[in-house]
Amino acid sequence: MAEIKLKLKKQPIFPLEADSITPDNFAGKNIDEIKGLIIYHGKEEEKIGDYFDVSGESSEINDLKIIIEGDLSNIKRIGEKMTSGEIIINGNVGMHVGNQMKGGKILINGNADDWAGAMLKGGELEITGDAGNYIGSAYRGFWQGMENGLIKVKGKVGHESMLWARSSKGAKKFPMLICGAADSLLGIHNHGGTIIVEGDVDRCAGADQAWGTIVIKGKVSRRLPSFKKMGETNEITLPNGDVIKGKFIEYSGDHAVSKETNGRLYIAA
Amino acid sequence: MAVKKIKTIYDVICPFCGTLCDDLEVDIDQTKNTVIEVRNGCQIGVKKYFSSNPSEHRFEKPLIKENGSHKEVSWDEAIDKAAEILVKAKRPLLYGFSSTECEAQSKGVELAELLRGILDNTASVCHGPSILAIQDVGAPTSTLGEYKNRADLVIFWGCNPVHAHPRHLGRYSEFVRGYFRRDGRNDRFIVVVDPRNTHTAQIADLFIQINPNEDYELINTIRALLRGVEIDEKEVSGVPIEDIKKLVEILKTCNFGVLFFGMGITQSLAHHRNIDTAICLVRELNDHTKFLLTPMRGHYNVSGANQVFAWNTGYPYSIDFSRGYPRYNPGEFSSVELLVKDQIDVSLIVASDPASNFPAAAVRNMYKHPLIAIEPHETPTSAFADIILPAAIAGIECEGTAYRMDNVPLRLRKVKEPPEGVLTDKEILEKLIEKVKEKMGA
């Protein structure tokens, strides 16, 4: 697998918008061409070479791996709309990482800021630290958020994760979020997304969920009153066919949306 | 013929709160160019008229800060200096606009686009969450006249109009007689939902006291009950379930209901999601009866700022022009977040006082960088400004358009002359645009 290494030389004063750092843009380009790609600093257009040391060799997109080193917490939009290849980030990363990506893989060895994997259409996003608010969410005013793909977060995710997620059984699209813990309003307006939380969740999980599955293996600080207890279960079958074993209490909801609902919330018994 | 000393102007529109009362009578001393008396206004609105009279707090000359104190300069010098600072900036913030007229606001949009800066108005710290919710789930709304004539159930949720919009109750929502509500107050049932027993709550028919920050759960429960779902809990948000059931009956059986909501729910936890679920509730209530909602906007023309920004750029607030075209994302491009993260290098504040309202961390960063204020009065913002451009008070000293809280545009009136040498917000922004263009071309 061909590798391109980027190393941050200096911290920008304002956030850099680096939506040009994707395997799609790097594929088939030599190092000088990659150095010349545009990134935005405030209102000024600057070049990747101004902020990064670039080394390695490019190749076909499917065979391309981009490795980025340094504290990128002030750098936004890495991997925006990427379709294939792989990005590995060793350090924290700024907002909108991997937003609207269609395929490929992003691995972040650190924390990610807000809007990571927003409106994901496919591919895989893995974060070993914590993630900010709105992970895998729909952008403002959109009614369709994450459509497909997988987001894995080892630590905690922020507020309103997986907002307006939408699955499609016919098209075999099952958006999924696996995280260590979550803040309030997890999976709000869920339309078929699957969320698995290994730890605790703050208030209002699954608010306005029309259908979908939320599995919480820890505690919920305040469950919404509009969820109704259905019974206990020892086995959960997820929409994509996977099975989770363990003792859970099954709730149906959100009944604020409709009296009969296929939405399910499982909380560890 | 001698000039008549006192002139009375009728049907003046009050430029204070979003109610935009249009029946004020103002007496002007024409020889001294001062306001003598204002009738029909509320206390806070009347006070604004008197603030236009000469006082030590009023700026009458452009000022530039030198060695820690403000020095009077000419308009040309002040505009030149301000334009130079703005042109050099990499990420300027243009904030405010809610207490000035629409024509000035559209000049603000032009300047922001020219500078490729950030454009924001005070909605980002008040009813911005309402706008986010409306963008997500829509809004069934109407004009205030409709409520006055038809509503028999009025809910005030998280707002206290007795203090914040004093004449709202008398003109539109509580005591006023309407076409179908001939008996005024007696024909209306008033519900107040608030964590505090406010003065609005004390004159209501039903007061529901809820725990702070738990509005989402309560509205959510009402929605479920409305759908005929039994709730397992005995109490939600500190309100017994029997009381919630009674409220649901009241909501379902009214002829025409309206929900007014304020910053009590837009700025408590869950922010725009409170409004999101409130809008869904109102939408679902329309299966049973007629129900609408309206946000209680604070500044008299903050609705106008949203309108003007939206028709110029497509977005109502928190707009970033850094890539040459408008982009929108509150939380990323809103002024408080940018200032807290110190991602701004110049601020231009128009007709607003963020230093009094923003978090301390944001204000500290704002003071760190050059600050230009277009402002008629001494405020915590202008006191620390590097350049102060004194403006006429819109709606008192110059004409313009303003939008009421229900998005009805009204024409503001000029009742007196501005102090000599003072320009209007629009003229100042026009001069700045001209100078910035000149400097950018060079």
Q: Is B301 exposed, middle or buried (0-12, 13-18, 19+ CB in 10 A)?
A: buried
B204 and B269: one domain? yes
B133 and B194: one domain? yes
Closest alpha carbon to B395 in B374, B418, B371, B364: B418
B152 and B96: one domain? no
Q: Is residue B57 part of a domain?
A: no
Q: Which of B91, B229, B345 to mutate to test the interface with A (most CBs of A within 10 A)?
A: B229
- Mean of the pLDDT values across residues B92-98? 96
CB A120 within 8 A of CB A136: yes
Q: How many domains does chain B have?
A: 3
* Residues of chain A contacting residue B136, judged by C-beta atoms under 8 Å apart: 140-141, 143, 189
Q: Which of A95, A160, A259 has the CB atom closest to B228's CB atom?
A: A259
Q: Which residues contact B370 (CB under 8 A, 6 or more apart)?
A: B85, B89, B345, B346, B347, B386, B387
Question: Cβ–Cβ of A189/B136 closer than 8 Å?
Answer: yes
Query: Could you tell me the CATH number of the domain that includes residue B261?
Result: 3.40.228.10
Q: Is residue B141 part of a domain?
A: yes
Q: Which of A13, A188, A256 has the CB atom closest to B223's CB atom?
A: A256
Model confidence band, residue B2 (pLDDT cutoffs 50, 70, 90)? low
Q: Is residue B421 part of a domain?
A: yes
- A 50-69: CB under 8 A from B: none
Q: Which of B227, B329, B343 has the CB atom closest to A15's CB atom?
A: B343
B367 and B392: one domain? yes
Any idea what DSSP says for residue A255? T
| A256 lies within 8 A of chain B by CB | yes
Rounded distance, CA A90 to CA A87, Å?
10
Q: How many C-beta atoms lie closer than 10 Å to residue A109's C-beta?
A: 15
Query: Could you tell me the CATH number of the domain that includes residue B115?
Result: 3.40.50.740
Q: Which of A115, A204, A229 has the CB atom closest to B216's CB atom?
A: A204
Distance between B278 CA and the closest CA of chain A, angstroms: 11
B365 and B314: one domain? yes
- Per-residue model confidence as pLDDT tens digits over B255-290: 999 999 999 999 999 999 999 999 999 999 999 999
* Residues of chain B contacting residue A80, judged by C-beta atoms under 8 Å apart: none
B102 and B169: one domain? no
End of a domain among B247, B273, B295? B295
pLDDT over 80 (residue B3): no
CB A4 within 8 A of CB A55: yes
Q: Is residue B119 part of a domain?
A: yes
What pLDDT is stored for residue A1 in this prediction? 80
What pLDDT is stored for residue B4 in this prediction? 79
Q: Which of A119, A226, A260 to mutate to test the interface with B (most CBs of B within 10 A)?
A: A226
How far from each other are the two terminal CA atoms of chain B, in whole angstroms? 53
Q: Is residue B55 part of a domain?
A: no
pLDDT over 70 (residue B1): no
Residues of chain B whose C-beta is under 8 A from some C-beta in A? 90-91, 115-117, 132, 135-136, 216-217, 220-221, 223-224, 227-233, 236, 269-270, 273, 276-277, 280, 321-323, 328-332, 343, 345
Q: Chain B: residue nearest A261 by CA?
A: B229
- Per-residue model confidence as pLDDT tens digits over B289-347: 999 999 999 999 999 999 999 999 999 999 999 999 999 999 999 999 999 999 999 99
Q: Is residue B200 part of a domain?
A: yes
Q: Is residue B319 part of a domain?
A: yes
What pLDDT is stored for residue B65 in this prediction? 95
B135 and B193: one domain? yes
Rounded distance, CA B142 to CA B291, Å?
10
Question: Structure pTM?
Answer: 0.94
Q: Which of A140, A222, A230 to mutate to test the interface with B (most CBs of B within 10 A)?
A: A140
B283 and B228: one domain? yes
Rounded distance, CA A65 to CA A104, Å?
10
B198 and B320: one domain? no
Give the domain range for residue B225.
Answer: 128-295
Q: Which residues contact A254 (CB under 8 A, 6 or more apart)?
A: A206, A207, A208, A209, A210, A224, A226, A227, A261, A263, B220, B224
pLDDT over 80 (residue B239): yes
Question: Cβ–Cβ of B273/A14 closer than 8 Å?
Answer: no
Q: Is B423 exposed, middle or buried (0-12, 13-18, 19+ CB in 10 A)?
A: buried
Question: Mean pLDDT of residues grouped by 10 in chain A (269 residues)?
Answer: 93 94 94 95 93 92 94 95 96 96 96 96 96 95 93 96 93 95 95 96 94 95 93 93 94 92 94
The share of chain B scoring above pLDDT 90, in percent, equals 98
Question: Cβ–Cβ of B276/A15 closer than 8 Å?
Answer: no
B208 and B352: one domain? no
The share of chain B scoring above pLDDT 70, in percent, equals 99
Q: Is residue B1 part of a domain?
A: no
- Mean of the pLDDT values across residues B391-420? 95
Q: Count residue pairs from A and B with Cβ separation < 8 A.
A: 97
**Integer Rg of chain B from CA:** 23
Rounded distance, CA B335 to CA B371, Å?
14
Question: Cβ–Cβ of B270/A208 closer than 8 Å?
Answer: no
Q: Which residues contact B292 (CB under 8 A, 6 or more apart)?
A: B140, B141, B142, B146, B147, B257, B258, B259, B282
Alpha helices in chain A (DSSP H): 23-26, 31-35, 48-51
- Mean of the pLDDT values across residues B338-357? 95
Q: Which of B90, B216, B321 has the CB atom closest to A44's CB atom?
A: B90
B154 and B256: one domain? yes
Q: Which of B217, B277, B332 has the CB atom closest to A225's CB atom?
A: B217
- Mean of the pLDDT values across residues B57-73? 94
| A42 lies within 8 A of chain B by CB | yes
B224 and B325: one domain? no
Question: Cβ–Cβ of B232/A225 closer than 8 Å?
Answer: yes
Q: Chain A: residue nearest B227 by CA?
A: A259
Question: Cβ–Cβ of B227/A189 closer than 8 Å?
Answer: no
H-helix or E-strand spanning residue A65? strand A64-69
Q: Chain A: residue nearest B228 by CA?
A: A259
